Amino acid sequence: MSIFSLTVIASLLISSIRSATPLVLAALGGIFSERSGVVNIALEGIMLIGAFTAVMISYSSGSAWLGVLAAMAAGVAIAWLHGVVSIKYRADQVVSGTAINILAVGLTEFLLAKFFGQAGQTPNVTPATLPTWLPLHGFTQQVTAFAWIAAVLVVLTHVVLFHTPLGLRIRAVGEHPRAADTVGINVFHMRYLGVLLSGALAGLGGAALSVGLLNSFTDNMTAGRGFIALAAVIFGKWSPFGALAASLLFGFADALQTQAQIIGLKVPSEFLLMSPYILTMLALAGVVGRSTPPAASGTPYEKGER
């Protein structure tokens, strides 16, 4: 089959968008968190918890969308933990994030055993879909409703961050918290906001994976997607559209990998799977456009310190 075949290209595109969707959502979360000055390597764990919660609640309630909302709420709850530990108690944000990632694996396995009485995988649930009368229904069915949600949220995040007073404040807190503090901005509130938003969005990203793409939950199903989302944040230079582009690129690599055989691609799939991580390292090193994080990202803020 030719690589230029229209159907192949179309299926590659759709598959790229499908892979990219959870990444974009979690990456937007990462942007909010990092822009406010809190490194969030817990995206992986939050996604996992979101993925599980979405399935659990849709299974028990019969409503996929209720599951999605619950996933966001669970993401917020777990992010709140990250916030308390790293903002209030000024713990190392990377340590706290690592703890959440370990917690998420254990907790979801535990809850899976407790509520479904089985190990490894949940039963299938009905996916979250949009009403059929909406335009582009066929396309939507293929890329899932979450692709649209992600697209809207990218624009929204951009507007909030760069065109509202709130966004200015969030960014100021991430760059120079003391300066923000002296003009009366509550650094802690802004950071909590950033972290909680990242929880909601990463939870949504997890839901996009479980009730969006796969219709069930499997142990550790995120399998590094949270870290790819983090990579997308960095590769996209902490901007929503940048993260979107990076996610699509990484999604494309994933699509190539899964369809390598159909296309007749000779590159081992492992190298395609590696590419997001390699590209991100290159971006950080300045080989692919310099990527500089917010100045205060990763540093706990202490009010009285001089």
Partner 1 sequence: MSDRKAKRLFTGSIPLPTFEGFLVPILAVVAALLVGVLFILWVGKDPILAYKALWRVTFGSTRNTLETLVDTVPLIFTGLSVALAFRCGLFNIGGEGQYLVGSLAAAVAGYALPGLPAVVHIPLVLLAGFAAGGLWAALPGWLKARFGIHEVINTIMMNYISLYFVHWLVIAHLKDPTNLSQRTPKILESAVLPNLLQNTRFHLGFFVALLVALGVYFLLWRTIAGYEIRAVGLAPAAAEYGGISVARNIILAMVLSGGLAGLAGAVQVAGISLAYYDGAGFVGYGFNGIAVALLGRNHPAGVLVGALLFGALGRGGVRGMQAIADVPKSMIGVVQAAIIFFIAAEGLFRVLVPRLRQRRQASRGPGPAGGTGGEGAPHSGTATEGGAGR
Partner 2 sequence: MAKVLEMVGITKVFPGVIANEDVHFDVEQGEIHALLGENGAGKTTLMNVLYGLYAPDGGELRWQGKPVHIGNPNVAIRLGIGMVHQHFMLVPPMTVAENIVLGAEPSKGGLLDMAAAKKRVRELSEQFGLKVDPEAKIQNISVGMQQRVEILKALYRGAGLLILDEPTAVLTPQEVTELIAIMRRLVEEGRSVIFITHKLKEVLRIADRVTVIRRGRVIDTLYTKDATEDGLAEKMVGRKVSLRVEKDEARVGDVILRVRDLTAANNRHLPALRGCSLEVRRGEIYGLAGVDGNGQSELIEVLTGLRPATGGEAMMNGKSLLGLNPRAIFARGVGHIPEDRQRRGLVLNFTVGENLILGSHHRQPFSVRGLLQGGAIDRRAEDMIQRYDIRTPGTKTLARSLSGGNQQKVIAAREMERDPDLLIAAQPTRGLDVGAIEFLHRRLVEARDRGKAVLLISLELDEILSLSDRIGVIYEGRVVAEVPGHEATEEQLGLWMSGGSTGRRGEAQG
Residues that bind partner 2 (CB under 8 A): 159, 163-165, 167-169, 171-172, 175-176, 178-185, 295, 303-304
Q: Rule CB under 8 A: is residue 266 a binding residue for partner 1? A: no
100 binding partner 1? (CB under 8 A) = yes
**Residues of the chain by 3-state class (helix, strand, coil), percent to 5:** 70, 0, 25
Q: Exactly one of 5, 62, 88, 141 binds partner 1 (CB under 8 A); which one? A: 88
Closest CB to partner 1 among residues 93, 140: 93
> Minimal distance in Å, beta carbon 87 to partner 2?
17
DSSP string spanning 53-71? HHHHHHHHHS-HHHHHHHH
The answer to whether 38 and 195 are in contact (CB under 8 A) is: yes
Find which of partner 1, partner 2, none residue 163 binds, CB within 5 to 8 Å per kind.
Answer: partner 2
Question: Which one, 39 or 248, has the nearer CB to partner 1?
Answer: 39
Coil, strand or helix at 268: coil
Cα–Cα distance for residue pair 86/231, rounded to 1 Å: 21
Q: Is 92 in the site for partner 1 (CB under 8 A)?
A: yes
For partner 2, the closer CB: 109 or 181:
181
CA distance 23 to 251: 8
Q: Which does 184 bind (CB under 5 to 8 A by kind): partner 2, partner 1, none?
A: partner 2
Q: Does 304 bind partner 1 (CB under 8 A)?
A: yes
Q: Which is nearer to partner 2, 180 or 211 (CB)?
A: 180
Residue 265 binds partner 1, judged by CB under 8 A: no
4 by Cβ neighbours in 10 Å (0-12 / 13-18 / 19+) ranks as exposed
What b/e sequence results for 20-51 when a residue is b if at least 16 CB atoms lie within 10 Å of its CB, and e otherwise? bbbbbbbbbbbbbbbbbbbbbbbbbbbbbbbb
In the region spanning residues 61 to 80, those forming contacts with partner 1, defined by CB under 8 A, are none
**Residue 176 touches which member of partner 2, partner 1, none, C-beta under 5-8 Å by kind:** partner 2
- What are the structure tokens assigned to 71, written together? 């996933």
- Coil, helix or strand for 293? coil
Contact 218, 210 (CB under 8 A): no
Q: Which is nearer to partner 1, 107 or 151 (CB)?
A: 107
Nearer to partner 2, 185 or 288 (CB): 185
Least distance from C-beta 230 to partner 2, angstroms?
A: 22
Give the whole-angstrom CA distance, residue 96 versus residue 125: 32
Q: Could you list the residues that contact partner 1 (CB under 8 A)? A: 39, 41, 81, 84-86, 88-92, 94-96, 98-103, 105-110, 113-114, 220, 224, 227, 230-231, 234, 268, 270-271, 273-274, 277-278, 280-281, 284-286, 293, 298, 302-306
